């Protein structure tokens, strides 16, 4: 059920979001290779379906910069194989629909909650890389020329710009950028992108400028490509699976980050897994009608919230209004100059770049700055999903090393001196009680150091493993403790555990270390209890 308690706010928020979304949907559609209509179809289907089924009430969904970049790569690759968009449309649609299916599975499996663990350097490098890709791919359209599909080819073709540039196109694109940045100083009630789109389209038509335009846009409701899916060749599914996984993962990250922004704005809490399911349904719907896949769009969501949108109705209104535009404004939209869309997209790319992260590169730990730059470079020149994967691996290894270093610094093994309760027999090193103190999880990053500590222990009578501050041990830590205890037992050294918490105790009981090797009598609830045991032993 759609909540109508905030009816006026949701209607105005949805209308405002649609006004912002229209030029972006057209621009992303053109950039992707699906054409302006593909962007509009995607914005309509995803906007309505994700709003109804998603887990963020104020989220506005549609084609986004990151998703358009990946979709463009998919489309270009399929066209290279099949020769034309028409011949490749079946595989393209199947890839987009499969991406939606993967997102639904991610939501059902509860993967949405893990996105919050993505480190900032990875997000920063990724978003800045996406921004640069959008800008680089619009350089040639800015000058009124067709753009190469790959970034490397863009750089390789720079020398042809001055010989083939269209001065009129440059004027339109530059004017678009100027208006987008300066018009908000006049008023923020009307989106500057829409003002620039209408203004320079009118200028181009009235002055009869010779610049490339969007061209014919199909009229009426879109066709459903269900028959295309049923009759296409499925003998090489991996051609679709890898790009679909990329789109699904990217869309999930994009959407859930936007959900966090929406939560902060509205002081609410989204449902991550439901959001992924809603995005999946929306992308399946967009794919079936030949639309561009997308995700939760941060700028459009913020605009919706600021204009009064508070429920799912605002997202539905946004999608329905775009449908009305599709049915009634196609004859006018075809006149929009491509340089104007290039100007809009360049501002989008500039807005995506993480200037805060770049500004503080010299202030953060060098390793984190390096990770950000590696992710940025891989995003621009290699592959988006590989960039995120490499960044996550590097960040995880770095984090584990830091945690291992901290655990090593805090771990200490020393004789049980007077402050701890004294020795069993003063003066005899072999009768000393050694205390091994841990502070933090015992995991694989710490086990090598722990093994070395045990190996370096002198010949003592007892070893106490203080576990009060160990909330967790992993499989490596479990086996490290087992090896240490067995080695100490072999050397005739008694082992005691104090303050062991539930998870570590459960792990050690599963492998029968407790009670087969460490007997129940060797477990003490805290170190104070063990000290009383030592005192009694001394008196005896």
* pLDDT over 70, % of the chain: 89
Is 167 within a domain? yes
For residue 229, give every residue at least 6 positions away whose Cβ sits within 8 Å of its Cβ, in sequence order, or none.
90, 93, 94, 97, 288
pLDDT at position 331 over 90: no
pLDDT digits (tens, 9 = 90+) for 192-227: 888 888 899 999 999 999 999 887 777 777 888 777
* Whether residues 142 and 280 fall in one domain: yes
* Whether residues 266 and 394 fall in one domain: yes
Mean pLDDT computed over 311-322:
93
- Residue 236, classed as helix, strand or coil, is coil
- pLDDT value for 347: 87
Is 2 within a domain? no
* pLDDT over 90, % of the chain: 25
pLDDT at position 228 over 90: no
Is 17 within a domain? yes
Strands 61-62, 295-296: pairing is antiparallel
Is 86 within a domain? yes
pTM of the predicted protein model: 0.73
Mean pLDDT computed over 304-311:
86
Tokens representing 227 are 């028959």
* Whether residues 321 and 190 fall in one domain: yes
* Domain count across the chain: 2
Winning range, highest mean pLDDT, from 162-176, 430-444, 509-523: 162-176
* Whether residues 91 and 228 fall in one domain: yes
Is 405 within a domain? no
Mean pLDDT computed over 416-441:
61
Contact 442, 407 (CB under 8 A): yes
Strands 412-415, 295-296: pairing is unpaired
Query: Poorest-confidence range of 158-162, 474-478, 535-539?
Result: 535-539
Burial category of 169 from C-beta neighbours within 10 Å (exposed 0-12, middle 13-18, buried 19 and up): buried
Contact 251, 294 (CB under 8 A): yes
Confidence of residue 368 (pLDDT cuts 50, 70, 90): confident
* Whether residues 386 and 416 fall in one domain: no
* Whether residues 132 and 228 fall in one domain: yes
Query: Poorest-confidence range of 13-17, 346-350, 431-435?
Result: 431-435
pLDDT at position 158 over 80: yes
- b/e for 114-138, b at 16 or more Cβ within 10 A? ebeebbebbbbbbbbbbbbbbbbbb
Is 175 within a domain? yes
Classify the C-alpha dihedral 330-331-332-335 as positive or negative.
Answer: positive
| Domain membership of residue 212 as a residue range | 7-353+364-398
Tell me the CATH number at 449.
3.30.750.24
Task: End-to-end CA distance of the chain: give it in Å, rounded.
Answer: 76
Contact 389, 397 (CB under 8 A): no
Is 38 within a domain? yes
Mean pLDDT computed over 264-275:
89
Mean pLDDT computed over 413-434:
55
* Whether residues 499 and 386 fall in one domain: no
Mean pLDDT computed over 58-78:
89
Helix residue ranges per DSSP H, 431-474: 444-455
* Whether residues 44 and 152 fall in one domain: yes
* Whether residues 433 and 377 fall in one domain: no
* Whether residues 382 and 276 fall in one domain: yes
Tokens representing 433 are 């009680």
Is 358 within a domain? no
Higher pLDDT, 104 or 152: 104
pLDDT digits (tens, 9 = 90+) for 19-54: 788 888 888 888 888 888 899 999 999 999 999 999
pLDDT digits (tens, 9 = 90+) for 379-393: 888 877 788 788 888
130 DSSP 8-state letter: H
* Whether residues 322 and 269 fall in one domain: yes
* Whether residues 75 and 110 fall in one domain: yes
Closest Cα partner for 345 from 506, 167, 130? 130
Mean pLDDT computed over 171-186:
93
**Cis before 9 (ω within 30):** no
Closest Cα partner for 524 from 537, 510, 513, 534? 534
Contact 45, 282 (CB under 8 A): yes
Confidence of residue 397 (pLDDT cuts 50, 70, 90): confident
Confidence of residue 426 (pLDDT cuts 50, 70, 90): very low
- pLDDT value for 205: 92
């Amino acid at each position: 059920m759609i909540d109508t308690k905030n009816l006026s706010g949701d209607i105005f928020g949805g209308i405002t979001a649609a006004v912002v979304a229209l030029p972006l949907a057209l621009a992303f559609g053109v950039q992707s290779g699906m054409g302006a209509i593909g962007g509009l179809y995607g914005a309509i289907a995803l906007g309505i379906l994700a709003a109804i089924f998603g887990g963020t009430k104020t989220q506005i969904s549609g084609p986004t910069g990151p998703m358009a970049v990946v979709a463009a790569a998919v489309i270009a690759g399929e066209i290279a194989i099949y020769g034309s968009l028409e011949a490749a449309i079946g595989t393209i649609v199947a890839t987009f629909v499969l991406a939606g299916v993967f997102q639904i599975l991610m939501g059902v499996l509860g993967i949405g909650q893990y996105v919050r663990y993505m480190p900032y350097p990875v997000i920063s490098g990724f978003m800045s890389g996406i921004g640069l890709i959008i800008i680089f791919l619009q350089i040639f359209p800015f000058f009124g020329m067709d753009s190469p599909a790959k970034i490397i080819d863009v750089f390789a073709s720079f020398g042809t710009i001055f010989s083939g540039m269209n001065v009129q196109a440059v004027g339109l694109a530059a004017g678009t950028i100027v208006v987008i940045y300066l018009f908000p100083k006049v008023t923020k009630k009307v989106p500057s992108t829409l003002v620039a789109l209408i203004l320079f389209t009118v200028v181009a038509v009235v002055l009869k400028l010779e610049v490339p335009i969007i061209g014919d846009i199909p009229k009426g409701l879109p066709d459903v490509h269900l028959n295309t899916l049923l009759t296409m060749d499925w003998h090489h599914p991996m051609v679709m699976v890898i790009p679909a996984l990329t789109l699904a993962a990217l869309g999930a990250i994009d959407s859930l980050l936007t959900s966090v922004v929406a939560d902060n704005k509205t002081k609410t809490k989204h449902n991550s897994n439901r959001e992924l399911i809603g995005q999946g349904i929306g992308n399946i719907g967009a794919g079936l009608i030949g639309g561009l896949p997308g995700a939760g769009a941060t700028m459009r969501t913020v605009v919706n919230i600021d204009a009064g949108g508070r429920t799912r109705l605002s997202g539905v209104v946004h999608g329905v209004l775009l449908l009305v535009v599709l049915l009634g404004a196609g004859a006018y939209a075809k006149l929009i100059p491509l340089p104007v869309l290039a100007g809009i997209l360049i501002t989008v790319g500039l807005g995506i770049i993480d200037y805060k992260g770049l500004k503080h590169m010299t202030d953060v730990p060098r390793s984190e700055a390096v990770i950000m730059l590696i992710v940025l470079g891989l995003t621009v020149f290699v592959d988006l999903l590989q960039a995120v994967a490499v960044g996550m691996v590097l960040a995880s290894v770095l984090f584990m090393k830091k945690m291992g270093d901290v655990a090593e610094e805090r771990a200490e093994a020393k004789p049980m001196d007077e402050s701890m309760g004294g020795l069993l027999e003063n003066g005899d090193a072999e009768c000393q009680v050694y205390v091994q103190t841990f502070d933090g999880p015992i995991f694989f990053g710490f086990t090598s150091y722990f093994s070395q500590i045990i190996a370096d222990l002198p010949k003592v009578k007892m070893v106490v493993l203080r576990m009060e501050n160990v909330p967790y041990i992993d499989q490596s830590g479990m086996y490290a403790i087992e090896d240490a205890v067995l080695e100490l037992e072999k050397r005739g050294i008694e082992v005691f555990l104090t303050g062991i918490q539930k998870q570590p105790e459960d792990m050690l009981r599963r492998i029968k270390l407790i009670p087969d090797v460490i007997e129940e009598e060797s477990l003490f609830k805290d170190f104070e209890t063990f000290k009383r045991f030592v005192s009694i032993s001394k008196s005896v």
